[in-house]
């Protein structure tokens, strides 16, 4: 048993969930329906009272019958008025009837052990709970609903088929034709392509989970703070015609197309003798170095500056977007990727599109978001590549060894071949009521 709602918080409704053979008979001891139940209807919610000694509280109770439940076992859920005392009182009464408190993630673990879900689907469930952005929620939902498992099972089934074909070669070498060898090679390459695509799609996974760090850099008065305000559509940064107004790194976040973008507005970079401004310049340089992407803002209303040129040359082109600002009062042409006006909003939408294009952000693509899955697919791919090489240069038993190893590794993702230590670690991250 466990509270499915936070016991530490007062809320309108509290829910206690019980799973196992004793869930139905024990719940009957504390829940009294308003109308006598001749034959219990599973999945139907009944109104009645929770009776605990001298205490009585109006409540709902719903029963579910194995195996058609979340855990694959009999389940009962009691819904009552939320509150510390009520929750603890019900839990204490259930404990007196021999019902123990669930361990972290035990409900979902039982669902996994009873083959209601795969291990990666279980991980998807906890990721749904912890998702901090729309894109993270979308990817977690895909994993929880089994989309990742479908991709993995597709490769697993093909590897199993390949392994069986190689076993035939080993047992009956005189009956093997060139067509059989070609089929094995074609299937291995097919698995290779699928796994490689999955890894490439997952190269931006940290952006999905952690968001993207974008640093806005440039010389003083280029319009960096104005650009941040234009993107956020709010006056978050102080804007002044006085050079050197920004002395520190100002960080603000916004969700765009489901992905959290963390912007850092920095001090204008130039040579200065001002002690405080120097500190700001150094912090700006650190923000540039640690950024996933840098938007370098150039002032189109003034001629080219040496500090501007030097700053551009110091940033890798792979993570750089050069923006010409103040196009509305443009006096000089400068090399840039696009021209904008932070004042009237010209080009801001195109700039945000460029951020997604530059980082190859594709929120709709199915990706691997967990280190465990990345490692398993990477190692599976290595074994598949070794098998392809062995097919051309080595004996069939070496091919078989690598294919079987690939099969073993990939099934770790869904839990078919995961160690007890891995399973324990995954479910330890769950809350008690899940």
pLDDT tens across 361-382, in order? 765 666 788 889 999 999 999 9
Q: For residue 242, what pLDDT is reported? A: 56
Of 364 and 163, more confident: 163
Tokens of 300: 């189109």
Place of tokens 């938007």: 295
Mean pLDDT for the stretch of residues 43-70: 92
Whole-angstrom distance, CA of residue 4 vs CA of residue 26: 18
Helices H, strands E: what count in the chain?
Answer: 15, 12
Q: For residue 359, what pLDDT is reported? A: 84
Mean pLDDT for the stretch of residues 242-263: 78
402: Cβ contacts below 8 Å, ≥ 6 apart: 383, 384, 386, 387, 390
Q: Are 413 and 369 in contact (CB under 8 A)?
A: no
Whole-angstrom distance, CA of residue 30 vs CA of residue 48: 10
Topology of the domain covering 2-101: Gyrase A; domain 2 (3.30.1360)
| Burial 92-127, CB ≥16 within 10 A → b, else e | ebbeeeebeebebbbbbbbbbeeebbbbbbbbbbbb
Mean pLDDT for the stretch of residues 239-253: 69
Residue 36 has pLDDT above 90, yes or no: no
Please provide the CATH number assigned to the domain covering 121-203+370-418: 1.20.120.430
Residue 280 has pLDDT above 80, yes or no: yes
Residue 419: pLDDT band by 50, 70, 90 thresholds? confident
Residue 186 has pLDDT above 90, yes or no: yes
Within the chain, all domains assigned CATH 3.30.1360.120 are found at 2-101
Give the strands of the sheet with 338-339, arranged side by side. 250-256, 259-265, 212-218, 293-299, 320-325, 338-339
Mean pLDDT for the stretch of residues 102-117: 92
Q: For residue 257, what pLDDT is reported? A: 80
Cα-based angle 357, 360, 362 (whole degrees, multiple of 5)? 105
- Note the pTM of the prediction, 2 decimals: 0.74
- Per the prediction, the chain carries an average pLDDT of 87
Mean pLDDT for the stretch of residues 257-285: 84
Topology of the domain covering 211-359: Rossmann fold (3.40.50)
Tokens of 118: 């795969």
Whole-angstrom distance, CA of residue 298 vs CA of residue 22: 71
Within the chain, all domains assigned CATH 1.20.120.430 are found at 121-203+370-418
Whole-angstrom distance, CA of residue 226 vs CA of residue 239: 6
Within the chain, all domains assigned CATH 3.40.50.300 are found at 211-359
Whole-angstrom distance, CA of residue 60 vs CA of residue 79: 5
Residue 10 has pLDDT above 90, yes or no: no
């Amino acid at each position: 048993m466990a509270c499915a709602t936070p016991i530490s918080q007062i809320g309108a409704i509290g829910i206690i969930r019980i799973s196992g053979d004793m869930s139905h008979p024990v719940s009957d001891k504390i829940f009294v329906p308003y109308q006598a139940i001749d034959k219990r209807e599973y999945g139907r919610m009944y109104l009645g009272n929770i009776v605990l000694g001298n205490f009585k509280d109006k409540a709902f109770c719903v029963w579910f019958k194995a195996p058609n439940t979340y855990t694959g076992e009999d389940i009962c859920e009691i819904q009552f008025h939320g509150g510390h005392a009520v929750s603890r009182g019900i839990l204490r009464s259930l404990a007196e009837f021999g019902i123990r408190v669930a361990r972290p993630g035990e409900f979902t673990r039982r669902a996994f052990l009873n083959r209601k879900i795969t291990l990666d689907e279980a991980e998807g469930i906890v990721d749904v709970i912890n998702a901090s952005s729309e894109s993270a929620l979308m990817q977690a939902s895909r994993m929880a609903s089994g989309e990742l498992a479908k991709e993995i099972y597709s490769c697993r089934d093909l590897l199993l088929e390949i392994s069986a074909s190689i076993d035939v070669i080993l047992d009956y070498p005189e009956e093997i034709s060139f067509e059989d060898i070609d089929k094995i090679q074609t299937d291995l390459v097919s698995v290779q392509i699928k796994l490689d695509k999955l890894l490439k799609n997952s190269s931006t996974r940290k952006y999905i989970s952690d968001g993207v760090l974008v640093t806005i850099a440039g010389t003083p008065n280029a319009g960096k703070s104005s650009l941040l305000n234009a993107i956020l559509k709010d006056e978050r940064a102080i804007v002044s015609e006085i050079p050197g107004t920004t002395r520190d790194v100002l960080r603000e976040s916004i969700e765009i197309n489901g992905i959290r973008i963390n912007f850092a507005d920095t001090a204008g970079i130039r040579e200065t003798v001002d002690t405080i401004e120097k500190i700001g310049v150094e912090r700006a340089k650190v923000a540039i170095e640690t950024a996933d992407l840098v938007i370098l803002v150039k002032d189109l209303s003034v001629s080219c500056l040496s500090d501007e040129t030097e700053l551009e040359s110091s940033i890798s082109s792979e993570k750089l977007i050069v923006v010409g600002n103040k196009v509305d009062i443009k006096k000089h042409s400068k090399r840039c990727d696009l021209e904008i006006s932070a004042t009237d909003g010209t080009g801001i939408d195109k700039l945000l599109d460029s951020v997604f294009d530059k980082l190859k952000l594709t929120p709709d693509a199915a990706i691997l978001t967990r280190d465990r899955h990345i490692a398993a697919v990477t190692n599976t791919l290595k074994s598949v590549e070794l098998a392809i090489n062995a097919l051309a240069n080595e004996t069939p038993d070496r091919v078989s060894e690598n294919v079987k190893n690939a099969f073993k590794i990939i099934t770790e993702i869904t839990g078919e071949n995961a160690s007890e230590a891995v399973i324990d670690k995954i479910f330890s991250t769950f809350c008690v009521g899940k």
